[in-house]
Amino acid sequence: MEYLPVIIVNIFIPISAGLIFLALAKYIVYIAPIRHFSAGKATYDRAYYAFMAFGIYLATRPLQLLLGPHPLPLIINNIREFFMIGVFGPSVFLAIYGLAYGGENIKKNLNLVVYGISVFFALVFVVVNIFAIGGSEPVFYIGSYAAYDGLWFKGLTPERSVLMAVLFICRLASPVLILAAGATIALARAFTYPEDRKKLYSNMPKKLILSAIGTYCFSFSMLTVGFVWILGKVPNQWWGYYVGAFLAGFFEAWSISLPIRKEQDL
């Protein structure tokens, strides 16, 4: 019972949050053929990649803790962060862009630039992370079985502090800033949605606003956790990610479930 709150935060909540986004990915597969005409196939493809990558990132947090001591937490963390930075961030941006302006406007060059920059930051993160970590330590026990997590914040030397700053910059670029940019695009489009398109897709402004709110929720939750460490020197506040993830899941599910036209317009 001593470790029950820690187990809930690190095992049950991440799995629950991950399952929400994996379910959203499955729902995208179901609804995409019906919605292709309004936002384009490319939009729903990117949304599927985003929800799958985020679901994997969230749900695999327990693996990072339960497989054993260093280097296993590092290996799993690097895989998770690659999905987060290199796949989730750019996929959300492109999906929102497609929802706002049509999937046909997700051009090949835009794909290459957005994914290319994000994968670059993901690879930098993975390499730097190898040198930034300071080993591992038990964070809780299930019976006599120890759950280990990496030591990123303890015993920081000046050299490792610089590496931690690089990791922060990588995450700031993707997903934090790229999500915020996507959400801002959605919000701007919602308030300037063309009247001729609104006659066809009367619910689209509301869908864009809900999607923007959900995207801001997770972007700002990550930013807040980062600044709590930078300004307050309080590390490992991972629970903030999951609060943001649950809020994002709620608003994204609401947005996706809305029909593209209001009932009175049908």
- The C-alpha angle with vertex 19 and arms to 185 and 146, in degrees rounded to 5, equals 120
CB 118 within 8 A of CB 174: yes
SS (H, E, C) 56-118: HHHHCHHHHHHCCCCCHHHHHHHHHHHHHHHHHHHHHHHHHHHHHHCHHHCCHHHHHHHHHHH
- pTM as predicted: 0.94
The confidence score (pLDDT) of residue 1 equals 65
Ordered mean pLDDT values, 10 residues apiece, the chain (266 residues): 89 96 96 83 96 97 98 98 98 97 94 98 99 96 96 90 95 97 98 91 95 97 85 74 92 93 66
Kind and range of the H or E element at 145?
strand 145-150
CB 32 within 8 A of CB 55: no
The verdict on domain 4-261 having CATH code 1.20.1070 is yes
Show me where the domains of the chain are located: 4-261
The confidence score (pLDDT) of residue 263 equals 63
The confidence score (pLDDT) of residue 68 equals 98
The confidence score (pLDDT) of residue 35 equals 82
Token pair for 104: 């046909």
